[in-house]
Amino acid sequence: MKTATLNNGITMPMLGFGVYQIAPEQTEAAVIGALQNGYRLIDTAAAYMNEEAVGRAVKQSGVSRDDVFITTKLWVQDAGEAAAAKALDVSLQKLGLDYVDLYLIHQPYGDIHGAWRAMEAALKAGKIRAIGVSNFHPDRVADLIAHHDTVPAVNQIELHPFYQRETEVAFHREYGILTQSWASFAEGQNDIFKHPVLSAIAAEHGKSVAQVILRWLNQRGVAVIPKSVTLARVIENAQIFDFELNAQEMAQIAALDTGKSLFFDHRDPERVKWLSGWKIHD
């Protein structure tokens, strides 16, 4: 499994297994299947409501905890210093773990500075091995860096062939932040799995469109966390390290960029209000 060295020196797999929108009753089996087929990074979040199932799966997989990289995330409702410290403890309890490998601020809203202070403290206490953010535009990342000692290790953002975020990827690279993609397959939009350009490249390599997309992202230095509840696809998604896209193929995929999100703009006032009002607990 290919890894990256984060800006605090720890290593993280460039390919992981995401559990967003997997129902809790399906999560345990899906994670066990991923771990038993070579995955070593599992990405969850408090807002996904399946941390407990992830924790059970890690224990039952037969894979040593020390060999598994676990990511979870702080929801907007718990931004703030005291609230974030409590939310981390709740996540650890649900996961049944003494520490998580990566803890992310899930959305760039609320008291993110208070949350970051709590996360820095937890980092020093050994409850977290690395801290980062998700869905932060460069100005929000720069604001966080300017007011704290710890530079985010990771920024997890929407990134796929139709929204390639080259400016953000370059910004992250400048500050030693690893870019991680969510919605790598654009959640199937624009008929991505039958796209003529991607399909032609896939046929040339004897690979699937999904494998081509994941390989393209990794070759750009972007980490990926594809999700599936179908074991055959989970296994297929991991088979991306035995081929390489050439410069022409990379350029063909680059030409697919629309420069726009397929989901929503994190700077849209209505979206900010909607996400900020979403409660995951009493």
pLDDT, tens digit, 9 for 90 and up, residues 14-31 = 999 999 999 999 999 999
Digit-coded pLDDT (tens) for 210-226: 999 999 999 999 999 99
Q: State residue 182 phi and psi, 5-degree precision.
A: -110, 155
Q: Give me the pLDDT at residue 260, please.
A: 96
Q: Give me the pLDDT at residue 221, please.
A: 98
* Nearest to 151, CA basis, from 124, 170, 130, 179: 130
Q: What is the DSSP string of 90-139?
A: HHHHHHT-S-BSEEEE-SS-SSHHHHHHHHHHHHHHTSBS-EEEES--HH
Task: Please state, in angstroms and rounded to a whole number, the distance separating the CA atoms of residues 139 and 94.
Answer: 33
The pair of structure tokens assigned to 239 is 């088979």
Q: Give me the pLDDT at residue 138, please.
A: 98
Segments making up each domain of the chain, as ranges: 3-276
Count Cβ atoms within 10 A of the Cβ of residue 170 and give its class: 0-12 exposed, 13-18 middle, 19 or more buried: exposed
Digit-coded pLDDT (tens) for 169-209: 999 999 999 999 999 999 999 999 999 999 999 999 999 99
| Mean local confidence (pLDDT), 237-263 | 98
Task: Identify whether 48 is a catalytic site residue.
Answer: yes
Q: Of 39, 48, 103, 109, which residue is the catalytic one?
A: 48
- Strand ranges inside the chain, DSSP E: 3-5, 11-13, 17-18, 41-43, 69-74, 102-105, 131-134, 154-158, 178-182, 223-224
Place of tokens 């520490």: 99
Task: Please state, in angstroms and rounded to a whole number, the distance separating the CA atoms of residues 87 and 67.
Answer: 25
Specify whether the CB–CB gap between 107 and 91 falls below 8 A.
no
Digit-coded pLDDT (tens) for 65-119: 999 999 999 999 999 999 999 999 999 999 999 999 999 999 999 999 999 999 9
Specify whether the CB–CB gap between 215 and 245 falls below 8 A.
yes
Mean pLDDT of the chain: 97
Measured between alpha carbons, how far is residue 109 from residues 113, 154, 276 in Å?
A: 10, 17, 7
DSSP secondary structure letter of residue 161: T
Residue 102 bridge partners (DSSP): 71
- Architecture per CATH, 3-276: Alpha-Beta Barrel (3.20)
Residue 1 has pLDDT above 90, yes or no: no
Digit-coded pLDDT (tens) for 103-115: 999 999 999 999 9
- 279 in helix, strand or coil? coil
Q: Give me the pLDDT at residue 226, please.
A: 98
| Mean local confidence (pLDDT), 130-152 | 98
* Nearest to 226, CA basis, from 8, 10, 13, 3: 13
